[in-house]
Homo-oligomer: A and B are copies of this chain.
Amino acid sequence: MVEASTSTQTVFQKMLLNVQSGIWETGAKIPSERSLIDQFGVSRIAIREALSMLRGLGVLEINHGQRTRVKTVDAVTLGHLLPLMLSSGGQQTFDQVFEVRLAIESQTASQAARRRTSEQLERLKELLASFRDAMRNDGNTNAQAIDLEFHLEIARATANPLFPVLLEALAGFVSFAQKASCQNDSERSQRAVLAHESIFEAIRDADADRARVEMESHLRYSMTRKIRPDEPLFDDSDPSAH
Contact = CB atoms under 8 A, between A and B. Distances in A.
A68 interface: no
A102 B104 CA distance: 9
Interface in A25-42: 26
Interface stretch (A84-92, A125-133, A188-196, A203-211): A84-92
Interface in A8-28: 8-9, 12-13, 16-17, 19-20, 22, 26
A231 to B, nearest CB: 14
A17 to B, nearest CB: 8
B52 A8 contact: yes
Contacts of A89: 72-73, 161, 165
B49 A84 contact: no
28 contacts: A1-B237, A19-B87, A20-B83, A20-B84, A20-B234, A20-B237, A26-B88, A45-B45, A45-B48, A50-B52, A53-B55, A57-B77, A57-B81, A59-B84, A72-B88, A72-B89, A73-B89, A77-B81, A86-B161, A92-B162, A96-B162, A99-B107, A99-B160, A100-B160, A102-B107, A103-B104, A103-B106, A103-B107
